[in-house]
């Protein structure tokens, strides 16, 4: 077992089921399945989500639908059901091989009647044939001869936290295969699933099909002889009407085309495909094994979350790994996750940006509904690209009361974040085609939104953005949030430059786009004029950027005096009270300086870093915070601090640092982690003219190596600090 690639669980803890389900997550960019055990346990949250399969639900509008369970296998050994909480668990070990997504569990179990059996479970979700999953169970009776009964069904009675989304359409059994057909209640997406179960190399003594409505089940019975291994193989196929016309037929055909024992046939190309992915996207750290493994764990979770084929899906804030945020996507994708793909697998980045392009109609609808022009992207986005941020949610402390959520109304910076990600992708990939066909339309139509959203302050002779929420969500309805204003300024300038470029590069496309968006030269002048006059707070004396109007006058709270707390400041003080303090949920001005390092001199960055860091709730505020702090600390050559924040991001989910890993992977933190290493420790900087490195590695790191793509060319970075050079 390679400890730099393998995540291990050495003891079974029924109280940590859900946390471990998140950690032992598997997926392939089409579907994602939590690391639940094959047999069932109370308190588990077994889910499989498939990208783009959303259905309507109260309060949060829409959510990813939990698919029928393909994992379940019940094993009955000489009449006793295998269950790790009964009898005696003599040995237990589980591992996830990050190199190829293989989940393996080895158990030595003594039944209540005293019979000992060893069981090994292996499973993977195919990276090559994304509709397929494969599982193998090897069973050895240690000290007895007896019967073995296996029951395995496709259980459609799954729900999303008690909310049912599936309508049952049919089920059946043919050619040793069970099948199930369903439809989501509101979105009418049809799913077809099929499953085949067999004893490898043997014919079962008995085999039946139990036609239980909603849970077609296969049952196999045979005998176990002491010391002789017996192997069970299960393959399952999932298709939906989002992928093909007849999902059920496709699922059945898929299984019918597989050889009798399919593991090797599916496993070999799967491993090669993983190898290709890691070859492009791995990061090697030498001298710090814990950091290496944790980093790979986070990258693995990004690799299994991103669709390779579907331009109409994004990555949710919790990937496909849990109910948190119900599969909705935020700026987390563009600002935190996308750089990993832009730099290492630009095709995936292009897909993700295309999702925003296809969802322009939803963004235009939102702008119009709010009385604005152009395109205003939703704060939370799902299948259709319409705003799906809940407006009211029950107060967790008193469910009879509701809390108003304002982010969907006024957290407007996401439209500029998307423009930023497109620009970054363009600069790095040199993909002019994307810019001409898709990127420019997004950048210009969102620029138009800014023009109509800006407010002219006659007295101060400047444009302002009032009543907004910046990245720091502890403060709502603030005026002139620095992050928002600076970003819009940049966005409008970019729009002006882009028009110039487009006219020169592809005049016909420019004319077409102007006609499509009904733009004229006055509009472009307007972009320029507003950009010049947008208020961008900066105090030349203190060198501080005020996060928003009046921030400095808010109450200071000494976070150090509250060390040891177990909840966020907002949780302790409540929303209203926190609003009155200077405590930030996550970096805001520091976030700005992270995105535009060249706009501010180092002294300004240092002063703002010092000022805002001590006011930011980095332990229990947002998980998006630590990675950004780390990158900026690296830039300021504060390597120890950068490393401390790096660790905080790296172990967010593995060690459940925020106590909510059961809701799913913190995807933005995972994406930010890659940035802490590449933009932070390696100091990769890029601009129109090219890229450069300015490395400063943590003291124990003997080597940092990774690849990235720059305008079609593969660049290999291999950093070995001189202090470790052989003498």
CB 524 to ligand IFM: min, Å: 32
Q: Of 218, 230, 317, 513, which lies in the binding site for ligand IFM, with binding defined by CB under 6 A? A: 317
Among positions 454-513, residues that touch ligand IFM (CB under 6 A) are: 471, 473
Among positions 554-593, residues that touch ligand IFM (CB under 6 A) are: none
Q: Does 330 bind ligand IFM (CB under 6 A)?
A: yes
Percent of the chain that is helix, strand, coil (3-state, to 5): 35, 25, 40
Which stretch, 25-33, 65-73, 206-214, 329-337, contacts ligand IFM (CB under 6 A)?
Answer: 329-337
Pairing of strands 74-77, 146-153: antiparallel
CB 325 to ligand IFM: min, Å: 6
Give buried/exposed letters for 158-168 (b at 16+ CB in 10 A, else e): bebeeeebbee
Q: Of 18, 622, 629, 634, which lies in the binding site for ligand IFM, with binding defined by CB under 6 A? A: 622
Q: Does 332 bind ligand IFM (CB under 6 A)?
A: yes
CB 310 to ligand IFM: min, Å: 22
CB 579 to ligand IFM: min, Å: 16
Instruction: Verify whether residue 473 is a known catalytic residue.
Output: yes
Q: Does 137 bind ligand IFM (CB under 6 A)?
A: no
CB 332 to ligand IFM: min, Å: 5
544 forms bridges with which residues in the sheet? Answer: 539
Residue among 330 and 420 whose Cβ is closer to ligand IFM? 330
CB 622 to ligand IFM: min, Å: 4
CA distance 323 to 44: 13
Spell out, one character per residue from 420 to 439, where the chain touches ligand IFM: x when CB under 6 A holds, - when not.
Answer: --------------------
Helix (H) or strand (E) holding 153: strand 146-153
Q: Of 36, 115, 502, 668, which lies in the binding site for ligand IFM, with binding defined by CB under 6 A? A: 668
For 667, residues 6+ apart whose C-beta sits below 8 A from its C-beta are 301, 302, 305, 315, 316, 317, 318, 319, 332, 336, 337
CB 324 to ligand IFM: min, Å: 8
Number of residues in the chain: 727
CB 423 within 8 A of CB 351: no
Angle at Cα 25 formed by Cα 80 and Cα 96, nearest 5°?
75
Residue among 125 and 335 whose Cβ is closer to ligand IFM? 335
Residue among 98 and 337 whose Cβ is closer to ligand IFM? 337
Spell out, one character per residue from 341 to 380, where the chain touches ligand IFM: x when CB under 6 A holds, - when not.
Answer: ----------------------------------------
CA 255 to chain centre: 30
Question: Where does residue 392 rank: exposed (0-12), middle (13-18), buried (19+ CB within 10 A)?
Answer: exposed
Pairing of strands 392-395, 398-404: antiparallel
CB 494 to ligand IFM: min, Å: 22
CA atoms within 13 A on the CB side of 40: 14
Of residues 473, 518, 567, 614, which has the active-site annotation?
473
Tokens 């003891």 correspond to 11
Q: Does 331 bind ligand IFM (CB under 6 A)?
A: yes
Residue among 119 and 317 whose Cβ is closer to ligand IFM? 317
Q: Does 63 bind ligand IFM (CB under 6 A)?
A: no
Smallest CA-to-CA distance from 436 within 509, 522, 360 is with: 509
CA distance 569 to 562: 9
Residue among 233 and 472 whose Cβ is closer to ligand IFM? 472
CA distance 24 to 8: 9
Q: Of 71, 451, 624, 628, which lies in the binding site for ligand IFM, with binding defined by CB under 6 A? A: 624
Furthest CA-CA distance within the chain:
91
Q: Does 334 bind ligand IFM (CB under 6 A)?
A: no
Which stretch, 248-256, 323-331, 460-468, 495-503, contacts ligand IFM (CB under 6 A)?
Answer: 323-331
Which stretch, 87-95, 302-310, 328-336, 441-449, contacts ligand IFM (CB under 6 A)?
Answer: 328-336
CB 379 to ligand IFM: min, Å: 8
Tokens 């997504």 correspond to 101
CA distance 685 to 472: 25
CA distance 356 to 345: 18
Q: Does 405 bind ligand IFM (CB under 6 A)?
A: no
Angle at Cα 28 formed by Cα 26 and Cα 34, nearest 5°?
25
CA distance 572 to 565: 9
Q: Does 5 bind ligand IFM (CB under 6 A)?
A: no
Q: Which residues are catalytic?
A: 473
Using CB under 6 A, list all residues that contact ligand IFM.
Answer: 317, 325, 330-332, 471, 473, 622, 624, 668
């Amino acid at each position: 077992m390679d400890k730099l690639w393998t995540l291990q669980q050495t003891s079974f803890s029924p109280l940590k089921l859900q946390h471990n389900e998140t950690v032992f997550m598997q997926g392939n960019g089409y579907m994602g399945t939590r690391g639940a055990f094959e047999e069932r346990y109370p308190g588990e949250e077994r889910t499989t989500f498939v990208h783009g399969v959303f259905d309507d639900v109260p309060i949060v509008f829409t959510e990813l639908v939990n698919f029928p369970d393909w994992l379940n296998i019940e094993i009955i050994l000489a009449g006793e059901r295998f269950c790790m909480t009964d009898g005696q668990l003599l040995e237990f070990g589980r591992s996830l091989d990050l190199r190829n997504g293989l989940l393996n569990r080895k158990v030595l179990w003594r039944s209540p009647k005293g019979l000992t059996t060893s069981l090994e479970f292996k499973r993977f979700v195919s990276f090559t044939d994304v509709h397929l999953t494969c599982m193998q169970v090897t069973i050895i009776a240690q000290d007895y001869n007896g019967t073995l009964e296996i029951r395995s069904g496709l259980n459609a009675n799954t729900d999303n936290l008690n909310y049912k989304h599936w309508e049952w359409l049919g089920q059946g059994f043919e050619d040793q295969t069970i099948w199930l057909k369903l439809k989501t209640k509101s979105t009418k997406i049809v799913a077809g699933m099929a499953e085949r179960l067999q004893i490898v190399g043997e014919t079962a003594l008995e085999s039946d099909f139990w036609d239980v409505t909603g849970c077609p089940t296969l049952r196999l019975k045979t005998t176990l002889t002491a010391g002789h291994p017996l192997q069970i193989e299960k393959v399952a196929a999932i298709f939906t009407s989002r992928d093909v016309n007849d999902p059920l037929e496709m699922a059945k055909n898929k299984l019918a085309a597989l050889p009798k024992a399919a593991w090797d046939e599916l496993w070999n190309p799967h491993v090669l495909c993983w190898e290709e992915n890691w070859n492009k996207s791995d990061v090697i750290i030498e001298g710090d094994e814990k950091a290496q493994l944790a980093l790979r764990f986070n990258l693995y979770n990004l690799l299994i979350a991103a669709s390779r084929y579907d331009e109409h899906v994004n990555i949710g804030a919790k990937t496909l790994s849990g109910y948190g945020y119900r599969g909705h996507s935020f700026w987390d994708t563009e600002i935190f996750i996308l750089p990993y793909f832009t730099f290492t697998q630009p095709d995936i980045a292009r897909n993700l940006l295309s999702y925003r392009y296809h969802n322009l109609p939803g963004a235009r609808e939102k702008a119009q509904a709010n009385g604005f022009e152009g395109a205003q992207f939703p704060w939370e986005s799902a299948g259709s690209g319409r705003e799906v941020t809940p407006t009211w949610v029950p107060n967790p402390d008193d469910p009879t009361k509701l809390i108003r959520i304002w982010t969907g109304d006024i957290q407007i910076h996401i439209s500029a974040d998307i423009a930023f990600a497109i620009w970054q992708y363009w600069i790095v990939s040199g993909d002019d085609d994307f810019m001409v066909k898709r990127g420019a339309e997004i950048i210009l139509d969102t620029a138009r939104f800014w023009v109509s959203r800006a407010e002219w302050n006659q007295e101060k002779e400047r444009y302002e953005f009032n009543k907004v929420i910046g990245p720091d969500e502890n403060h709502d309805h603030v005026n002139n949030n620095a992050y928002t204003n600076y970003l819009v300024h940049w966005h409008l300038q970019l729009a002006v430059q882009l028009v110039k470029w487009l006219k020169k590069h592809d005049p016909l496309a420019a004319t077409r786009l102007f006609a499509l968006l009904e733009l004229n030269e006055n509009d472009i002048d307007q972009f320029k004029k507003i950009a010049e006059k947008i208020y961008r707070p900066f105090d030349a004396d203190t060198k501080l950027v005020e996060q928003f109007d009046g921030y400095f006058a808010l109450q200071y709270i000494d976070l150090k005096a509250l060390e040891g707390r177990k909840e966020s400041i907002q949780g302790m003080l409540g929303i209203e009270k926190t609003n009155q303090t200077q405590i930030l949920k996550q970096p805001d001005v520091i976030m700005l300086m992270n995105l535009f390092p060249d706009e501010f001199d180092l002294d300004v960055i240092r002063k703002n870093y010092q000022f805002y860091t001590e006011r930011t709730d980095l332990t229990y505020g947002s998980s998006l915070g630590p990675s950004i702090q780390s990158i900026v600390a690296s830039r300021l050559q504060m390597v120890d601090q950068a490393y401390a924040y790096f660790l905080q991001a790296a172990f967010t989910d593995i060690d459940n640092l925020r106590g909510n890993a059961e809701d799913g992977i913190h995807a933005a933190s995972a994406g930010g982690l890659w940035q802490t290493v590449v933009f932070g420790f390696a100091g990769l900087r890029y601009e129109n003219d090219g890229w450069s490195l300015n490395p400063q590695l943590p003291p124990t790191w003997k080597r940092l190596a990774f690849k990235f793509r720059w305008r079609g060319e593969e660049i290999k970075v291999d950093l070995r600090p001189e202090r470790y050079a052989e003498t």
